[in-house]
Amino acid sequence: MRIAAIAAVCLLTALPLAGDAASWPAPQSPVIPAADGYASIPGAPFRPGHTHVYHAVFDATLAADKPDRLIPALNMVGSELNALGVEKVRLANAKFVVVFHGGALAGILDDAHYRSRFGVANPNLAVLAQLKKAGVKLYACGQNLIAEHIDPAILSPDVQVASDALLVLMAFQNRGYALMSF
């Protein structure tokens, strides 16, 4: 019995857990370089369509796990734009909206205020500018800014202040946008 268990462990450790990593294509980040890349999977049953229009509203509530990293929602929006870019889908087909509130608000502070708070440059600012250039609509929750006593003047100029995050989320969902929460 013991020999069989040892043999099974040896066999399992000899097998690759996720296949040969060298056979997978390398992820690419052609649209938002700081965000996670996308690897096109040959023969996959579902791939982004070149004529499909993708509608998504990203509910950005989480702060980054470290101050020198992107907030999760920005990484995910960038990653999806990278996916479309790798698959040669026009960026005009990405109708993306990001609504910042909660912990994610710290990630959209201007560099001076971010540095003052965290001691490092704001890694989100370049991504915000790239997202805006790609046509992504960026909103901060006005109600949350009031509650947290955050002056809108210290936010990235790429982000607009909306009256209320939840109203923005509802409005876009009512228009058929898929809700993505990060």
CATH of the domain at 163: 3.40.1260.10
- The burial class, CB within 10 Å (0-12 / 13-18 / 19+), for 137 is middle
Question: What is the band of 5 on the pLDDT scale with cuts at 50, 70, 90?
Answer: very low
Query: Is residue 20 one of the residues assigned to a domain?
Result: no
Report the range of poorest mean pLDDT among 21-25, 64-68, 82-86. 21-25
Bridge partners of 55? 95
Instruction: Provide the pLDDT for residue 124.
Output: 98
Q: Is 21 a residue whose pLDDT tops 80? A: no
Average pLDDT over residues 69-94: 97
What are phi and psi for residue 179, nearest 5 degrees? Answer: -90, 125
- The burial class, CB within 10 Å (0-12 / 13-18 / 19+), for 40 is middle
Question: What is the band of 47 on the pLDDT scale with cuts at 50, 70, 90?
Answer: confident
What average pLDDT is seen over the chain? Answer: 91
Structurally, how many domains does the chain consist of? 1
Average pLDDT over residues 82-110: 97
Query: Is residue 154 one of the residues assigned to a domain?
Result: yes
Query: Is residue 2 one of the residues assigned to a domain?
Result: no
Question: What is the band of 11 on the pLDDT scale with cuts at 50, 70, 90?
Answer: very low
b or e along 49-63 (b: 16 or more beta carbons within 10 Å of the residue's beta carbon)?
eeeeebbbbbbbbeb
Question: What is the band of 97 on the pLDDT scale with cuts at 50, 70, 90?
Answer: very high
Residue 65: which domain range?
52-181
Give which of 98, 27, 25 is closest to 61, Cα–Cα.
98
In degrees, rounded to 5, the angle at the alpha carbon of residue 107 between the alpha carbons of residues 60 and 56 is: 25
Measured CA to CA, the distance from residue 34 to residue 121 in angstroms comes to: 14
Query: Is residue 26 one of the residues assigned to a domain?
Result: no
Give which of 26, 52, 50 is closest to 40, Cα–Cα.
26
Q: Is 18 a residue whose pLDDT tops 80? A: no
Average pLDDT over residues 53-74: 98
Instruction: Provide the pLDDT for residue 20.
Output: 57
- Where is pLDDT greater, at 42 or 102? 102
Query: Is residue 67 one of the residues assigned to a domain?
Result: yes
For 24-41, write each residue's pLDDT tens digit: 899 999 999 999 999 999
Measured CA to CA, the distance from residue 17 to residue 26 in angstroms comes to: 18
The answer for 26, left when phi > 0, alpha when psi is -120 to 50, beta otherwise, is beta
State what percent of residues in the chain have pLDDT above 70. Answer: 88
Query: Is residue 112 one of the residues assigned to a domain?
Result: yes
Within 44-100, residue ranges assigned H as helices are 72-86
Query: Is residue 116 one of the residues assigned to a domain?
Result: yes
Query: Is residue 27 one of the residues assigned to a domain?
Result: no
